[in-house]
Structure 1
Amino acid sequence: MRVAVAGLGWWGKQIVSSLSKSEKFSVVAAVDPMPTDEARQFAQQHGMELAVDLAEVLGRGDIEGVILATPHRLHEQQALSALEAGKHVFCEKPLAMTAAGAQRIVDASARQGKVLGVGHERRFEPAIAEVMRMVRAGELGQLLHMEANVSHDLFRKLDPSNWRLDRKHAPAGMMTAVGIHVTDIFVALAGAASSVRARTESLVLAEPVRDFTTATIAFDSGVQATISFLSVTPFHGRIAVFGDKGWVEIVSEGNVDQGLPTHLTYCRGTGVPRTTRTFDAIDAVLANFETWADAVAGRVKYPFIAAELVENIRLFEAIVQSSENSGETVVLR
């Protein structure tokens, strides 16, 4: 599949490097409106043409798909432009900044008959996939509650001018970088959210950057959830899911790009010995991209439901609204 990557920042380079290991992709072009010498050298090393405007690649008939690794507020318009140009689109998270924007993207994808990929690679991690399988197989009984704390201190190394610290592109602290992966999983398991209360604070980093985000979520299904994400503490990754017949917890040793294992603990009853499993890391980013490529080729169905993508952004939008209004309860429906 011949593709172009828009955005040659840290993550755009990670994507190109990951795709270079796959026989399913040929990255023929990259787009960067203000390329640095480092970006030019990177493009040359990977045999990519370098364009400064997305329109330059959208008009090319030899490019089948466009991968968006650009600042978040650009995603909606860029995805719509690529779809209208007849390209398959893989958009990094968040898909859009509003539920209405996400709906416009999934509608355009359906209208154009194109496959929409989304950068929620956590679903492809073996431990996450096992938790989702267990819940859907009923091994935990009736789903009751979910909780997560996924945090890291990578943002402390960023220049204050970096767009990832800009509340226009990254509101509610770590939600766009980390939290939206967790809510994607929770929406996939529990369905649409009905209400949320969220708070953000700055205790270490200079305003307006937020140190942490916390939220409590209620779902239409009756399931409850609590989440917290910190941007000033060493890596911590924990997700737990509770049912009336058992619970399961996964603890990751490192971020998705670090290649470290994840440990799963399963409890199926009081007094019953718990079972533990360790899952070695895989390149979940590449697994997601290759599944998208297979879906474009008609070999598989891409495993993200359009309604789930929209509902995740609806929840994200509500978390931002609540956090910006002193933790007020936001009712989604």
Structure 2
Amino acid sequence: MAGHDAQCRLGLIGAGTFGLRHSRFIARSDRADLVAAADPAFGPDRPVPDELHDLARYCDHREMLARGDLDGVIVASPSEMHVSHALDCLDAGVAVLVEKPVAVDREQARPLLDRVAADSRARVLVGHHRRHHPAVAAARELIGQGRLGEIRTIAAVWATHKSDAYFEVEWRRRQPGGGMLLINLIHEVDLLRHLVGEIASVEAIASNQARGLEVEDTAGLVLRFANGAIGTLVGSDSAVSPWGWDQATEDDPTFPYHPGQPCLLIAGSRGAVSVPDMTVFTQPAPSWLEPVTQNQIPVEGADAFARQLAHFADVAAGRARPLVTAEDALRSFEVVRTAARSRVS
């Protein structure tokens, strides 16, 4: 097992879009090294992605796990394989970072949930990376300290215009779950649960008018939280805007950065905050007749993927408990799945 100052030796299962993204994030990490990758598509007649040229490569992930020198494995295989691949890693005594969604439903997730509950050595972190952003930690602390009072309303937005090439992948055009609800808005739902609390009910409306595909390209959710707060979440992958986590942060250099743009507004009985720019709004005494003052909480080192990797290294070494457990991630998935099933087109 990696020591506190040692590099965490990682393997990767799945060399598709998300797997290669993880490989690039690991390449810039000072806490982890990617030493092996497994994907059934590897073979003598298939070109090797540039990111994986210098790694040991396996067609069977179980052969990779049999190396015996890995501290952790990132599972970025197709969603329906996440649970079985994670269990194989745990059987090999290796910590797991599972890309979201952790499973396609609770029944499929049950063996993994039961394993984690029964085995204290089973270390599973789910890749909702935005929770690791320092602005999220600052907002959670602000809310937890009661500085906003009782949370009343939340307004979240994620809007960007994906290229046509993105939809050349067949499952993104036709498969249930291929739309932006489960690919993108699940991140916003997870953040809202993390910051505000559990979601008691959700209603949704969706449209596929922009592209005419079988999956939705635009959606709106109305959320009722267990603490009585009401939230709205709107999103579109066919709209031009700077309002969205990818544009408002520098988490992924693939996306252009628009500093100072909020994508989440949280208002309480004593104050409000916009995230991730962390502008806090307050009044001496709450009244719509009084001016609202504002100040900004400084946020530094805003690289959520690097922080997630550092956290995973600590989880793999037994120094930290997972910030996002399998059960926690499954609850976010179930909220979005309920919204997808209840949507009105």
| Common fold: TM-score over 0.5 | yes
1:321 aligns with 2:321: no
CA distance in 2, matches of 1:166, 1:3: 33
CA distance in 1, matches of 2:87, 2:219: 30
Aligned residue runs from structure 1 range 66-85, under 5 A? 66-85=73-92
Query: Residue 313 of structure 1: SS of its match in structure 2?
Result: helix
* Deviation digits for residues 133-191 of structure 1 (CA, Å, limit 9, x no counterpart): 111111100122222111222353314334444424x24x2123221111112112333
Q: Offset at 1:231?
A: 0.7
Alignment: residue pair count = 310
Contact kept in structure 1, 2:182 and 2:337, CA below 8 Å: no
| Greater Cα radius of gyration, structure 1 or 2 | 2
Q: Offset at 1:277?
A: 4.9
**Over the residues paired in the alignment, what is the CA RMSD in angstroms?**
2.4
Q: Mind listing any 5+ residue stretches in structure 2 that lack a counterpart?
A: 1-7, 245-262, 284-289
Aligned to 1:185: 191
State which of 309, 324, 332 in structure 1 corresponds to 2:329: 309
Q: Offset at 1:207?
A: 1.7
1:57 aligns with 2:64: yes
Aligned to 1:11: 18
Aligned to 1:265: 279
Query: Residue 316 of structure 1: SS of its match in structure 2?
Result: helix
Q: 1:190 to 1:273 in 2, by over 3 A?
A: closer
State which of 219, 228, 253 in structure 2 corresponds to 1:213: 219
Aligned residue runs from structure 1 range 125-274, under 5 A? 125-168=133-176, 170-171=177-178, 173-234=179-240, 235-237=242-244, 238-250=263-275, 262-269=276-283, 270-274=290-294
Contact kept in structure 2, 1:132 and 1:189, CA below 8 Å: yes
Identity of matched residues, % = 25
Q: 1:109 to 1:65 in 2, by over 3 A?
A: farther
Q: 1:159 to 1:67 in 2, by over 3 A?
A: same
Once structures 1 and 2 are overlaid, which stretch shifts more, 20-29 or 117-126?
Answer: 20-29
CA distance in 2, matches of 1:76, 1:305: 13
Q: 1:100 to 1:268 in 2, by over 3 A?
A: farther
Contact kept in structure 1, 2:23 and 2:51, CA below 8 Å: no
CA distance in 2, matches of 1:306, 1:76: 10
Query: Residue 154 of structure 2: SS of its match in structure 1?
Result: strand
Q: 1:280 to 1:230 in 2, by over 3 A?
A: farther
CA distance in 2, matches of 1:117, 1:156: 32
Contact kept in structure 1, 2:14 and 2:39, CA below 8 Å: yes
CA distance in 2, matches of 1:115, 1:312: 20
1:291 aligns with 2:311: yes
Query: Residue 177 of structure 1: SS of its match in structure 2?
Result: helix
State which of 42, 51, 55 in structure 2 corresponds to 1:42: 51
CA distance in 1, matches of 2:23, 2:162: 21
Contact kept in structure 2, 1:99 and 1:317, CA below 8 Å: no
CA distance in 1, matches of 2:175, 2:80: 10
CA distance in 2, matches of 1:22, 1:207: 38
CA distance in 2, matches of 1:103, 1:246: 40
Q: Which runs of 4+ in 1 moved over 6 A?
A: none
Matching residue's letter, 1:196: V
Contact kept in structure 1, 2:12 and 2:74, CA below 8 Å: yes
1:114 aligns with 2:134: no
Q: Offset at 1:106?
A: 3.2
CA distance in 1, matches of 2:171, 2:76: 12
Contact kept in structure 2, 1:103 and 1:310, CA below 8 Å: no
Q: Offset at 1:9?
A: 2.2
Q: Offset at 1:293?
A: 0.9
CA distance in 1, matches of 2:73, 2:118: 17
Contact kept in structure 2, 1:93 and 1:176, CA below 8 Å: no
Please give the TM-score of this superposition, normalised by the length of structure 1. 0.84
Please give the TM-score of this superposition, normalised by the length of structure 2. 0.81
CA distance in 1, matches of 2:124, 2:299: 28
Q: 1:306 to 1:208 in 2, by over 3 A?
A: closer
